[in-house]
């Protein structure tokens, strides 16, 4: 983490935890599948630098979590066993995006295959409105998105918020 202090720039390294590496590797494998689509375990191992055994264990965990699915065996013209392609599971998990802007608030539910499953925009002037009121409006809109996701049988795997301009944390 980089901090700007009255003494200049200061770099702080966060303490390493044993789960950090596992989470990083899980994200690495999921990202590789998302980026390539239809990747085999061997292709993921080659692209990430992880061993095939490590990739196999990570893929099993991602499958158990319902994030990856087998797309089936695909012969690729090489000698040996056909490769088993992996893909993201777009039928069970989704993410929610919330955008707070000066003249509207929007929410979107997208599955892991980046298909928009719900979208709503509310034209509202957020200038000069108290942060509590903007957050209350946003919470109501997000609740609508959560209900839509649930109605479609989707489990929310994550959420993100976009805010224009500079943000005062206080």
Kindly tell me if the per-residue pLDDT of 90 is higher than 90: no
Q: Quote the CA–CA distance of 59 and 68 in Å, as a whole number.
A: 7
pLDDT at 60: 93
pLDDT at 84: 80
pLDDT at 92: 85
For residue 111, give the 3-state DSSP assignment: strand
Kindly tell me if the per-residue pLDDT of 73 is higher than 80: no
pLDDT in tens, 158-168: 899 998 887 67
Proportion of the chain above pLDDT 70, given as a percent: 82
Written as six digits, the tokens of 122 are 């509310």
Kindly tell me if the per-residue pLDDT of 83 is higher than 70: no
pLDDT band at 61 (very low <50, low <70, confident <90, very high): very high
Kindly tell me if the per-residue pLDDT of 98 is higher than 90: yes
Q: Quote the CA–CA distance of 129 and 142 in Å, as a whole number.
A: 19
Q: Cβ neighbours of residue 73 under 8 Å, at least 6 residues apart?
A: 82, 83, 84, 85
pLDDT at 7: 58
Angle at 66 between CA 63 and CA 68, to 5 degrees: 50
pLDDT at 10: 59
Least trusted range by pLDDT, from 12-16, 57-61, 106-110, 138-142: 12-16
What is the pLDDT averaged over residues 124-143?
92
Least trusted range by pLDDT, from 29-38, 46-55, 74-83: 74-83
pTM, whole model, 2 decimals?
0.65
Residue 74 φ then ψ, to 5° = -135, 120
What is the pLDDT averaged over residues 62-89?
75
Q: Determine whether 33 is exposed, middle or buried from the number of CB atoms within 10 Å of its CB (0-12, 13-18, 19+).
A: buried
């Amino acid at each position: 983490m980089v901090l700007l202090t009255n003494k200049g720039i200061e770099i702080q390294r966060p303490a390493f935890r044993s789960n950090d590496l596992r989470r990083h590797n899980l994200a690495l494998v999921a990202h590789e599948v998302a980026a390539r689509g239809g990747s085999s375990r061997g292709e993921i191992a080659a692209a990430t630098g992880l061993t095939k055994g490590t990739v196999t264990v990570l893929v099993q965990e991602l499958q158990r979590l319902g994030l990856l699915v087998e797309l089936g065996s695909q012969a690729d013209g090489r000698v040996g066993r056909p490769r088993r392609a992996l893909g993201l599971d777009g039928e069970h998990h989704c993410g929610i995006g919330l955008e707070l802007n000066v003249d509207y608030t929007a929410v979107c539910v997208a599955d892991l295959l980046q298909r928009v499953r719900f979208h709503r925009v509310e034209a509202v002037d957020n200038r000069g409105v108290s942060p509590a009121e903007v957050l209350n409006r946003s919470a109501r809109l997000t609740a609508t998105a959560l209900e839509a996701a649930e109605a479609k049988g989707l489990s929310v795997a994550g959420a993100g918020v976009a805010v224009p301009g500079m943000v005062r944390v206080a």
